[in-house]
Amino acid sequence: MADRITPRKEDFSQWYADIIQHAKLADQAPVRGCLVLRPNGYALWEVVQGELNKKFKETGHQNAYFPMFIPESFLNLEKDHVEGFAPQCAVVTHGGGKKLEEALIIRPTSETIINSMYSKWVKSYRDLPVLINQWANVCRWEMRTRPFLRTMEFLWQEGHTCHETEDEARKETLKMLDIYLGFVRDVFAIPVIPGRKTESEKFAGAEETYCLEAMMQDKKALQAATSHYFGQRFAKVFDIKFQDRNSQMQYVYQTSWGISWRILGALIMTHSDDQGLVLPPKAAPIPVVIVPILQKNKDNSEVLNVCNKMKEELMPHHRVLLDDRLEHSPGYKFNEYELTGIPLRIEVGPRDLANGICVLARRDGKKSQVKLSELIVRVNEELSDLQKSLYNAAYERLKNNTHLENSFSTFKEKIESESGFYQLHWCGSRACEDKVKDETKATIRCIPFAQIRETGKCIVCEKESTGRVIFAKNY
Ligand SMILES: [Zn+2]
């Protein structure tokens, strides 16, 4: 492990790796491309789970669990789906020392196994809607991997639903995108652009894919979550039929939606700085740490008593850590909490106590003295202000690095020298989309819901376009 964090300006990608190491979020596994999620990283994942489970359940969804092994034949049933996933699949051919009659795929996603079960469970309109989510690991054989962003095995949740009508399924698809948007914006303080994927970028087997696109500090795009509308494609393949209200047999309409631990990569790359991880207070497993300024070989009981009382007062409002270790100096501790991103540090020393004050040090560098009697109010204020200010900084970056461009040659020069989101006119053809990708590595991140609708000329072929789409390089 490098003993310092590489500055972002020097090497953004090394900076990212250093933050993960120094904040003890994850480590490389013995198997290339796999990641060990350490307690600090897992605690962040639990924040994702906790917040989303609350929202999923409020909207009528339930959690369930399906096996990680999928019969190979299942994956072959839907043409686009198999083409999309087969190259990335890990396949089990032997078990218990014998060759298996049918190979088993380690799930790259669970549409097929879940739908095979839904065909047994759904018989009547009374069985609908089916609103199930699972938290699971999935496996995709990646050649080039990066912690959280692209790993062979990763954690995610995948929701899979069945509905009576197209209208209901389409509403569900957008409702779930909206739940992700609320979480990413309000808890992780990451501004995103919601929109629709083009044919070439959508999920294998979906009729529509919706997504949230965020901008990282290096101005590259990161897809934060997706929600897919399947229509009846999988229902027809897996024969998920029900008797409708008029006693007619119908296929169900379906959706699936997911967010993976990539979102932790987004969190890191949106807010962190050259000193370490930066966590917005609502995303922090522990938002407040109290560091007493203790003196070796002296009686520290007065300071410790006050710190314990502070912790008790704050606990009903926030999770608080009191770091009363004597074996480490206050300076060592300050450094450690800067690396691990704790949003607010409370420092209390004997001299402060004599004056009835303590020091609040925010992770973004702002420091203030507060009266002990005003502690709770001030802690709440500082945390809520920090949450807003991190969001605002990320929002400003997104806004300032989103450009309108009309000339292909200028765009090529610009994106080469400076990443960012480029709002370009596009005729809708795959050929033009591919040409941009081949020449610049930028892809259409989304057709934004808030699209700039205006007539213009496709940036590549100059045919008519009715609106701008967002091109960017992405993770
Ligand atoms: Zn074109």
**pLDDT at position 85, please?**
84
Q: Could you tell me the distance, in angstroms and rounded to a whole number, from the CA of residue 475 to the centre of ligand 1?
A: 25
Q: What is the mean pLDDT of the segment spanning 47-63?
A: 98
Specify the pLDDT at position 396.
98
pTM of the entire predicted model = 0.95
User: What is the 430 CA–ligand 1 centroid distance (Å)?
Assistant: 8
Distances (CA, A) of 45 to 212, 397, 456: 19, 26, 44
- Measured in Å, residue 6 CA sits from the centre of ligand 1 at 41
Cα(191) to centroid of ligand 1, in Å? 30
User: Ligand 1 centre from 458 Cα, in Å?
Assistant: 5
Q: Is the pLDDT of residue 401 over 80?
A: yes
Tell me how far the alpha carbon of residue 443 lies from the centroid of ligand 1, in angstroms. Answer: 14
Q: How far is the CA of 427 from the centre of ligand 1 (A)?
A: 4
pLDDT tens for 332-370 read 999 999 999 999 999 999 999 999 999 999 999 999 999
Number of helices (H), then strands (E), belonging to the chain: the values are 14, 24
pLDDT at 107: 95
- Confirm whether 286-380 and 402-472 share one CATH topology: no
Q: Does domain 286-380 have CATH number 3.40.50.800?
A: yes
CATH fold of 402-472: Translation Initiation Factor IF3 (3.30.110)
- What is the 8-class DSSP label of residue 93? E
Beta 35-37 vs 421-425: how paired, if at all? unpaired
Q: How far is residue 266's CA from residue 269's CA, in Å, rounded to a whole number? A: 5
- Reported as a single tens digit per residue, the pLDDT across 440-475 is 999 999 999 999 999 999 999 999 999 999 999 999
Pairing between β-strand 320-322 and β-strand 288-292 as defined by DSSP bridges: parallel
Distance 264 CA to ligand 1 centre (A): 36
Mean pLDDT over 323-335 rounds to: 95
Please tell me the least confidently modeled range out of 113-117, 163-167, 312-316, 349-353.
349-353
Per-domain residue ranges of the chain? 12-271, 286-380, 402-472
Reply yes or no on whether the pLDDT at 124 is more than 80: yes
In degrees rounded to 5, what are phi and psi of residue 300?
-100, 10
Give the span between the Cα atoms of 242 and 237, in whole angstroms.
14
SS3 state of residue 36: strand
415 alpha carbon to ligand 1 midpoint, in Å?
19
Copy the structure tokens of residue 99. 């060759």
> Averaged over 66-80, what is the pLDDT?
90
The answer to whether residue 1 scores a pLDDT higher than 70 is no
At residue 2, the pLDDT reads: 57
Separation between Cα atoms, residue 338 and residue 325, nearest integer Å: 17
- The fold of 12-271 is BirA Bifunctional Protein; domain 2 (3.30.930)
Q: What is the pLDDT of residues 18-46, one digit of tens each?
A: 999 999 999 999 999 999 999 999 999 99
DSSP calls for 191-239: -EEEEE--TTTS-TT-SEEEEEEEE-TTS-EEEEEEEEEEETHHHHHHT
| CA 448 and chain centroid, separation | 19
Q: How far, in Å, is the centroid of ligand 1 from the Cα of 229? A: 26
Query: Does position 203 have pLDDT exceeding 90, yes or no?
Result: no
